[in-house]
Amino acid sequence: MKRSILLLIALTFLLISNVYAQEDSVRLDSAVKTRAKTIKLKEVGIVEKGKPVSRTSISVTLSEKQLQQTKGSGLAETIKEIPGVSILKTGSTISKPVIEGMHGNRILILNNEIRLEAQQWGLEHAPEIDPFLAKRIHVIKGAESVRYGAEAIGGVIIVEPPALPTSGGISGGLNLIGASNGRSGTSSAMLNGGLKSLPGFGWRMQGTLKRSGNVHSAEYYLGNTGVRELNYSAAAGYHTGKASYEVYYSRFGTELGILYSAHVGTKEDIDARISIGRPLENYGFAYNITAPRQKVVHDLFKAKAHYDFSNQLSLAITYGFQKNQRKEYDFRRGDREALPITDLVLNTHTLDLVFEKQETSGSKRLYGFNGIVQVNNNIPGTLANTFIPNYDGVTGGVFVIQRWVKDDFEFEGGLRYDFKLFDAVGYRYASDGEQYYGGQSRFHNVTGSFGTLWKIDEQWQLGSNLGLAWRAPTANELFSNGLHHGAGLYEIGDPNIKTEQGYKWVNSLKYYEGKLNFTLDAYAQYINNYIYSEPDKTFKQTVSGTYPTFRYKQTDASFLGADFSGTYRFSELLSYKLNAALIRARDLDNRKYLPYIPSDRVGQSIRLDFQLKNFGDTWLQAGHSFVRRQTRYELESDYAVPPGAYHHFQLSGGTAMKIGNQELSFNLSVDNLFNTLYKEYMNRYRYYTHDMGRNITIRLAYKF
C-alpha cells in the first residue's frame, strides 16, 4: 500500500513536471517566435541521434526495412537471421535469443533504454518484448558490461523505438499479418503526433494483437501450441533547445500453451517418449490453450530527462520501473489446473545517470551510475512448493568511458565497478519436514572494456573489442531445490556458487566495395566460473512423480567461433548473400563439451531487386539454409543424441506502392518450402516432437 501511494505521488510529480515543461515551452516559444525555425533545426539534431551503439562495438543493426520482412515473429525469431545469432526453443511457442552460444542471463536486452528484467533464468521463459515497437534492433556481440551493466557477458540486444515527433501533424502505420501454420493473425498499429501550437512536444501510441493456434509439423499437429498476445504502449516527450523529457509506458501480455506431449512424469515416460520421438496422439487444429500453459504480463514505465549544460556537457537521467508477473499452469489434480503452480511477481526499479563530456576533436568521456533495486515475491495460493525464493536485490555500478577519435582510428576504453546485495528467504515443504532457506550474499566486481576501430582504407575496416563482463548467480542457481515444473526437472542449486566472469575478444573485419561486401567476425571467450546444470544421473522421487535430478555447478569454459556475412551484387538486379556461423565450446575443467551449443550453420540466398510499373521497390528472394548435426556433445548429459542435419528452403517477395505521402507495402514468404520433417538440436522439445512444417506468411503494411 505504502509503495503504491509513493508511486502515485511520484507519477503525479512527473505529470506535473511535464505540464510545467509544456507551459515553460509555450512561453519560450512566444518569446522567440522569430527564431523558431533555427530552434527547430537544433531540436531535430537532438532527437535524431545516430545509432545508440558505439562505433567501436562489434554490432549488427537490423533496419526498419529488414524488420518489415520478419514482422509478426517474436524477438528471437526476428533477429535470428543475424550471423552468430540463433534461438533456443522450448517447443514452438517459446524462443530465446542466443548470441554466439550465450542466452538467458548471459545476454542483456535493452527495451527502449531500460534493461529487461524478468525471470530470464528459465530456459522456457521468452523475452517480454513486442518487436513491433522497434524501428531498429541492434545486436552487440561484445561483452560490453561497462556501458550496459552486469550480465552482458555474451552480448546485448538493443530494441530502439522510433524517435518521438517534435512538430505538429499525425502519422502512423498499420500492419496486418497472417500465417498459415498455426492459422495466426497479427495486427499492429502505431500513431504518432505532435502539436503545432507546442513545437517540441510529441506523442505515440502503439498496440499489437496476436492470436495463433496449434502449430503443424510437416506431418502432424502439435497439441496445445496456441499463443495469444496483447501488447500496447504510449509515449510522450518534450524537447526544448537544451532539454528533453520523455515518459513511456508499455505492457506486454501473453498467454501461451506448452506442448501436451512434453509432459512426462517418470523416467519410464521420458525413455518411452524419446524412443518414439514424436507424439502418438493425434491432435487437430485448435486455438484453445489449456494447461500446461504460461501467462505473463510485463509492465514497463520509463521517465527520462536529458539536459545539455553546454555544447560539450550533458546529463541524462533515466528511471525505469518494471513489473513482471508470471503464472505457470500445469496438469494438476482436480480443479487445480485453474491455479498457477508458479506465481511470481518481480518488481524492478532502475536508475541510470550518464554525464557526457564531448570534446571538439570528436572524443568524449562518459561518467555513469546504474542502480537496480529488485524485489521478487512468490504469490501465495499456488498450493505447491515454490521453486525460487522471495528475494531483494540491490545493485549499484559506476563507470567511466573514454573515447578518442583520430582520422583513421577510434578507441574506446572503459572501467566499471559494481556491487550487488542479494537477500533471499524461501520456504519449502518436504516429506521430511518444512524448511526455510536463503541468506544474504554480496558480490563485488570490477570490469573493463577496450574497443578500437581502424579504417584501413575506403574499403577495409577492422574492429576489435575486448571486454570483461560478469554476472551474479541467479536465485535458482543458488537456492532451487525442487521440481522445475516448466522443465520437468528436479533442480538443486548451490548457495556457494560464485560470480561468473567472462572475457570476450571479438574482432570484425569489414569490406565494402560496390559489388562485394562482407563482414567476418571472429571471437574467443573465456568464462571463469561458468555456471551450468548437469544431470547427476539420479532420479528424484517426489510425491508427484520421478524426475531426473540436475545440479548447478561451476567450471571454466571457452567459446571460440566465427560468423560470416557477405553479399555479391552481380548487377543492379541480381545479388547473392551468404551467411555462416560456427562455434566451438568446451568445459575446460572436465575436458568435455557443453550442452546446447548451436551447431554449424550456413545460409544463402539469391535476390532480384527491380522496379515494377506503378509500384516502388520490388524484390524476390530464394533462400537455402543448412544446419549440421551437432557432433560435439556428451551423451551422459543429455537424454538423446542430437538430431540429424537438415536443409531448409525459403521463398519470399514483396513490393511497395506510394500514394502521395502514404505507402502501402506487401510481402509474402514461404518458410520450410518443401515441408521438411526435421528436428533442431536447440529445441528442448526435440525429444518428443519435430519442428514446424511449411509456413506461408502474408504481410501488409500501410504507412501514412
Partner 1 sequence: MNKLRNYSLVVLVGLIAITFNACKKDPKPEVPEEEIGKAELTFLEVEREAHGDHYHYNPIAEAKSTIITFDSKGLPPVGTHLHLIEGKTYKLTLRSFDFANREMQQEFLEKHDIHQAFILGAPDGILTYAYADRDKENKKINVGVTGYLTVDEHTATGFTFRYVLRHLNPGVKASITAANWNDVNFSAKFAGANDLDLKFELHPVHEGEHEH
Residues 303-362 that bind partner 1 (CB under 8 A): 303, 305, 307, 317, 319, 331-334, 336, 347, 349, 351
Binding partner 1 by CB under 8 A: which of 36, 44, 383, 456?
383
Q: How far apart, in Å, are the Cα atoms of 689 and each of 33, 176, 222, 527, 597?
A: 67, 30, 8, 33, 20
Q: Does 225 bind partner 1 (CB under 8 A)?
A: no
Q: Does 380 bind partner 1 (CB under 8 A)?
A: yes
By CB under 8 A, which span of 118-126, 256-264, 461-469, 495-503 interacts with partner 1?
256-264
> What phi and psi values does residue 16 have, to the nearest 5 degrees?
-60, -45
- Pairs from 26-31 (Cβ < 8 Å, separation ≥ 24): 26/197, 26/198, 28/240, 28/241, 29/198, 29/199
Restricting to residues 514-553, name those near partner 1 by CB under 8 A: 541-545
- Radius of gyration, CA atoms only, the chain: 25
Pairing assessment for the beta strands 155-160 and 107-111 based on DSSP bridges: parallel
Record the cell numbers describing residue 602, joined without a space: 550456413
Q: Report angle CA 388, 391, 397 to the nearest 5 degrees.
A: 120
By CB under 8 A, which span of 194-202, 281-289, 530-538, 611-619 interacts with partner 1?
281-289
Q: Does 2 bind partner 1 (CB under 8 A)?
A: yes
The least distance separating partner 1 from the CB of residue 694, rounded to whole angstroms, comes to 24
On whether the CB atoms of residues 173 and 187 are closer than 8 A, the answer is: no
Q: Does 285 bind partner 1 (CB under 8 A)?
A: no
- Between 170 and 276, whose beta carbon lies closer to partner 1? 276
The least distance separating partner 1 from the CB of residue 425, rounded to whole angstroms, comes to 6
Q: Does 567 bind partner 1 (CB under 8 A)?
A: no
Q: Does 224 bind partner 1 (CB under 8 A)?
A: yes
By CB under 8 A, which span of 151-159, 264-272, 517-525, 610-618 interacts with partner 1?
264-272
- Between 352 and 412, whose beta carbon lies closer to partner 1? 352
Record the cell numbers describing residue 533, joined without a space: 546444470
Other Cβ atoms less than 10 A from the Cβ of 8: the count is: 10
For residue 619, the 8-state DSSP code is E
Spell out the alpha helix ranges (H) of 32-96. Answer: 36-47, 64-68, 75-79
From residue 620 to residue 659, what is the string marking binding to partner 1 with x (rule CB under 8 A)?
Answer: ----------------------------------------
Q: Does 279 bind partner 1 (CB under 8 A)?
A: yes
Chain mean position to CA 623: 25
The least distance separating partner 1 from the CB of residue 316, rounded to whole angstroms, comes to 12
Q: Does 702 bind partner 1 (CB under 8 A)?
A: no
- Between 180 and 377, whose beta carbon lies closer to partner 1? 377
Binding partner 1 by CB under 8 A: which of 203, 220, 232, 260?
260
Q: Does 433 bind partner 1 (CB under 8 A)?
A: no
Q: Does 35 bind partner 1 (CB under 8 A)?
A: no
Binding partner 1 by CB under 8 A: which of 21, 76, 453, 585?
21
The least distance separating partner 1 from the CB of residue 162, rounded to whole angstroms, comes to 25
What number of residues does the chain have?
704
> What phi and psi values does residue 633 have, to the nearest 5 degrees?
-150, 165
Number of residues that bind partner 1 (CB under 8 A): 80
By CB under 8 A, which span of 38-46, 374-382, 639-647, 690-698 interacts with partner 1?
374-382
3 state DSSP class of 686:
coil
Q: Does 434 bind partner 1 (CB under 8 A)?
A: yes
Helix (H), strand (E) at residue 560: strand 545-569
Record the cell numbers describing residue 576, joined without a space: 547473392
Binding partner 1 by CB under 8 A: which of 35, 52, 170, 271?
271
- Between 543 and 659, whose beta carbon lies closer to partner 1? 543
By CB under 8 A, which span of 112-120, 430-438, 582-590, 599-607 interacts with partner 1?
430-438
Binding partner 1 by CB under 8 A: which of 264, 344, 670, 682?
264
Q: What is the DSSP string of 274-342?
A: HHH-S-SS---------SSEEEEEEEEEEEEEEEESSSSEEEEEEEEEEEEEEEEE---SGGGGGS-SE
Residue holding cell 560456427?
A: 582
The least distance separating partner 1 from the CB of residue 544, rounded to whole angstroms, comes to 5
In angstroms, the CA 311 to CA 357 distance is: 9
In angstroms, the CA 557 to CA 559 distance is: 7
Nearest to 358 by CA among 416, 415, 305, 309: 309
Q: Does 562 bind partner 1 (CB under 8 A)?
A: no
The least distance separating partner 1 from the CB of residue 609, rounded to whole angstroms, comes to 48
